Amino acid sequence: IAGITQAPTSQILAAGRRMTLRCTQDMRHNAMYWYRQDLGLGLRLIHYSNTAGTTGKGEVPDGYSVSRANTDDFPLTLASAVPSQTSVYFCASSHRGGTEAFFGQGTRLTVV
């Protein structure tokens, strides 16, 4: 594959459950990002990483955690899901210092 892949495509999750959204890229990009997009609204940055081994908080980090053990993978974990985390989640990557970010197809998460 060439590009960035997210899994699962969609998920219905019971409140209180733990969930990890997966993101993998094969472009050797250093920077990776997680966004959430609520229906009818824009993208809000949850967490980001500008190189393997480092992560940073975005605009809406509460309730989410990330790790960056290697260049290719950037999983997003919801430790205890709540209904307000119902959203479409997009993972993206770019070259460090680059302006063009490449996005995955999104994960639609519904917390009930």
Partner 1 sequence: GESVGLHLPTLSVQEGDNSIINCAYSNSASDYFIWYKQESGKGPQFIIDIRSNMDKRQGQRVTVLLNKTVKHLSLQIAATQPGDSAVYFCAEKAIYNTDKLIFGTGTRLQVFP
Please, what is the minimum distance in Å from the beta carbon of residue 72 to partner 1? Answer: 17
In angstroms, the Cα distances linking 31 to 82, 84, 86 are 28, 27, 25
Task: Decide whether 39 or 112 has the Cβ nearer to partner 1.
Answer: 39
Residue 17 in tokens = 């459950």
What is the full DSSP assignment across 10-25? Answer: EEEE-TT--EEEEEEE
Under the rule (CB under 8 A), what is the footprint of partner 1? 31, 33, 35, 37, 39-45, 48, 50, 56, 58-59, 88, 90, 92, 94, 96-97, 99-106, 108
Please, what is the minimum distance in Å from the beta carbon of residue 19 to partner 1? Answer: 18
Task: Decide whether 33 or 64 has the Cβ nearer to partner 1.
Answer: 33
